[in-house]
Amino acid sequence: MKIITVLKQGVLIVRVEGELDMHSANEFRQTIDNALDNNEAKHILLNLEGVDFIDSSGLGVILGRYKRVSLLQGQMLAAHIQPQVAKIFDLAGLLKIIKVYNNESEALACI
Amino acid sequence: MAIKNTFRMTFGSLSENVGIARVTAAVFAAQLDFTINEIEEIKVAVSEAVSNSVIHGYGNESGQVELVMNLYEDNVEYIIKDCGRGIADINQARQPSFSSDPERMGLGFVFMESFMDELAIETQVGQGTTVRMIKKVQLNKTH
């Protein structure tokens, strides 16, 4: 799995490539947590263009980070979400708490 | 119904093997006329069952997980077996949002149930857990 984090307008952009399962969950969690610890980011924008698989282990990490930014009135957004990943988000109820956009700039414009 | 093909694999309870197991499950299913969407559902269900064995069955201890795949005329069967701790209260474990870990969503069994046509769980504390799932080919599909 490849994860790149970028800080833009106070938003932590997390670009992920690979499969979000129990094998990648720890690295995914630690990368975001480290970036949140070291930056002034209030919101998280997940760019999931390169993610073609997610299961409940991956969702758990996303939910955990959502809870973290929510405590400080931050939002979590997602961009470029693949249809099969969107289906899993929907079933898990994550689409009720995470707003989904076509691309990063649309998402950034809505914060 | 007669088995057309069978495939059995045994692997160590390592997170690396979850991806290998679900990809193998998807390739095995591709022998039948499933849609790409249905194959994706199989991948998630198998991933959940194998993850449960690795995370909850064995915890940090090493153990063996067995995945048996049986191909029939119009369905595919997956049996995921571990000899780990077992599940004390299976009805509770099948509830959405039940999880023994706050970072996890407790959706493992919910996904297995939603994405497969049949789900049966046999478990005994201290003995292990066997999950059996069946996915049927939908006959009224248009191509």
Task: Provide the percentage of residues in chain A whose pLDDT is more than 70.
Answer: 100
How do the domains of chain A map onto residue ranges? Answer: 2-109
Using alpha carbons, list the distances in angstroms from residue A87 to A24, A55, A94, B16.
Answer: 20, 11, 10, 24
CATH number of B5-136: 3.30.565.10
Q: Among this protein's residues, is B104 annotated catalytic?
A: yes
Residue pair A16/A51 in contact (Cβ under 8 Å)? The answer is: yes
Looking at CATH, the fold of the domain delimited by A2-109 is given as Transcription Regulator spoIIAA (3.30.750)
Q: Domain ranges in chain B? A: 5-136
A56 closest CB neighbour out of B15, B102, B104: B104
Chain A residue numbers with beta carbons less than 8 Å from the beta carbon of B19 are 19, 21, 23
At residue B44, the 3 state secondary structure works out as: helix
Rounded to 5 degrees, what angle do the CA atoms A78, A80, A82 make?
105
The number of C-beta contacts closer than 8 angstroms across A and B is 59
Tell me the per-residue pLDDT of A27-53, one tens digit each, with 9 for 90 and over: 999 999 999 999 889 999 999 999 999
User: Low-confidence residues of chain B, pLDDT below 70?
Assistant: 97-105, 140-143
Q: Is the dihedral of CA A111, A104, A89, B89 positive or negative?
A: negative
Q: Do B108 and A56 touch (CB under 8 A)?
A: yes
Could A60 and B104 be called an inter-chain contact, meaning their C-beta atoms sit closer than 8 Å?
A: yes
Q: Is A92 on the interface with B (CB under 8 A)?
A: yes
- A102: burial class by Cβ within 10 Å (0-12, 13-18, 19+)? exposed
The verdict on ipTM greater than 0.90 is yes
